[in-house]
Amino acid sequence: MDIREKMDKKYQEALSTYLKDQNEQALYQGQKISRLNIKYNISPEEIISMHKNNLMALYPDLPTKVVDSFDFLLEVMMGYGIAYREHQSLRHQQQELKSEIEIAAKVQHTLLETKIPEIKNLDVGVISVPARQMNGDYYHFVEDELGCIGIGIADVIGKGIPAALCMSMIKYAMDSLPEHRHEPKSVLESLNRVVEHNVDPSMFITMFYGLYNPHDKRFTFASAGHEPGFYYDASAGTFSDLDAKGLLLGVDKKTKYKQYEKFVKPGDMIILLSDGVTECRTSDGFIERETLIEFIKKNMHLQPQEIVNNLYKQLEKMQNFQLRDDFTLMIFKANV
């Protein structure tokens, strides 16, 4: 006796018992049969056919219309069975993909992880939150042989896995630069050649790179089309844009970048960010840069890490706790 014959016999016994007693114990037998049907891959339409045949065996005088109704139900369940199996297959594939993305996100986090250094004369605050599991933003710190600190922040135009792969490539390229090649314009020109050669033409990367020299307190910087940051001049009590012109990475391998500099005085602040900060969308539209400055002003009495944490919570709340883009914010505050 094959498995389907055994199941048919079990079904007939359970159906007969239920129609006779109609109690909870009889219904429980039906649940056990249901689990066995799943275990042995017996389709919904086979169960309908089994039910019809066993009911006719138990009650040979069933009205013709009742018998015929099972044929209709059988056709309905055949279509349902096909759709159900496709649904289960898609769910299984989705679960596999979700698991793979979770692993990839953990690997990416490990690959892109960078230690926030202790910088002489500067307190540092950093927050970077992906809109999805994979981050299309990247920030980087590196110390050269002279004790100068290189600070990079990059953003792929796009989100998800392709953006994350691009960021991993930027990280590798950054780590491959010689220690004496951390001058901002040279860094961007080197990375630009890497991106132009290796990244799909439809993808572009913006990047801001700065170098802080703790000996003369000079901050040198260059930008490849990145969102301008802010500079707070404590003596004047004013904010200005860290506006550095430059073409996005990957557009033209011969691009040259212009370098700028500022001398950081006690109380001054350097604010670097990705466009996920300035393009925070509320019910009234995108927030203005002036609004962001006002938020910073209200928190200026705090340490940089507290400032970035507070700003993130405020902007997240304004977006109903749904980030639409990767969010990265860095604040450097000169010791008084």
Confidence at residue 179, expressed as pLDDT on a 0 to 100 scale: 63
Residue 237 buriedness (CB in 10 A; 0-12 / 13-18 / 19+): exposed
Q: Is 109 part of a structural domain of the chain?
A: no
Q: Do residues 20 and 81 share a domain?
A: yes
**Is the dihedral angle over the CA atoms 174, 178, 179, 182 positive or is it negative?**
negative
Q: What is the mean pLDDT of residues 154-167?
A: 74
Q: Do residues 124 and 44 share a domain?
A: no
Q: Do residues 141 and 44 share a domain?
A: no
Q: Do residues 267 and 132 share a domain?
A: yes
Write the CB contacts of 298 (distance below 8 Å, at least 6 apart in sequence): none
Q: Is 102 part of a structural domain of the chain?
A: no
Query: Domain containing 31 — which CATH number?
Result: 1.10.1240.30
Q: Do residues 206 and 295 share a domain?
A: yes
Q: Do residues 160 and 202 share a domain?
A: yes
Between 28 and 292, name the one with better pLDDT. Answer: 292
Q: Do residues 223 and 186 share a domain?
A: yes
Tell me how far apart the alpha carbons of residues 206 and 336 are, in angstroms, rounded to a whole number: 32
Q: Is 170 part of a structural domain of the chain?
A: yes
Q: Do residues 88 and 120 share a domain?
A: no
Three-state secondary structure call for residue 195? helix
Q: Which of 69-73, 84-88, 297-301, 312-316 has the lowest mean pLDDT?
A: 84-88
Residue 302 buriedness (CB in 10 A; 0-12 / 13-18 / 19+): middle
pLDDT at 280 over 80: no
Q: Do residues 119 and 235 share a domain?
A: yes
What are residue 139's DSSP bridge partners? Answer: 153
Confidence at residue 308, expressed as pLDDT on a 0 to 100 scale: 94
Using CA atoms of 3, 6, 37, 71 in order, give the dihedral in degrees to the nearest 10. 110
Confidence at residue 321, expressed as pLDDT on a 0 to 100 scale: 63
Confidence at residue 111, expressed as pLDDT on a 0 to 100 scale: 67
Token readout for 40 is: 């042995």
Q: Is 103 part of a structural domain of the chain?
A: no
Confidence at residue 29, expressed as pLDDT on a 0 to 100 scale: 80
Domain end: 92, 123, 157, which one? 92
Mean of the per-residue pLDDT values of the chain: 84
Q: Do residues 206 and 322 share a domain?
A: yes
Q: Is 107 part of a structural domain of the chain?
A: no
Inter-CA distances, 287 with 131, 178, 232, Å: 18, 40, 20
Between 283 and 258, name the one with better pLDDT. Answer: 258
* Domain tally, the chain: 2
Q: Do residues 184 and 287 share a domain?
A: yes
Confidence at residue 282, expressed as pLDDT on a 0 to 100 scale: 65
Tell me how far apart the alpha carbons of residues 72 and 81 are, in angstroms, rounded to a whole number: 14
Confidence at residue 107, expressed as pLDDT on a 0 to 100 scale: 67
Confidence at residue 297, expressed as pLDDT on a 0 to 100 scale: 93
Question: What are the tens digits of pLDDT across the range 169-223?
Answer: 787 787 777 765 678 999 999 899 888 887 777 778 899 999 999 999 999 999 9
CB neighbours of residue 166 within 10 Å: 26
CA angle 182, 186, 187 (to 5 degrees): 55
Confidence at residue 170, expressed as pLDDT on a 0 to 100 scale: 80
Q: Do residues 87 and 119 share a domain?
A: no
Residue 159 — very low, low, confident or very high, per pLDDT cuts 50/70/90? Answer: low
Tell me how far apart the alpha carbons of residues 173 and 205 are, in angstroms, rounded to a whole number: 13
Confidence at residue 235, expressed as pLDDT on a 0 to 100 scale: 94
Confidence at residue 283, expressed as pLDDT on a 0 to 100 scale: 65
- What domain range is 69 assigned to? 3-92
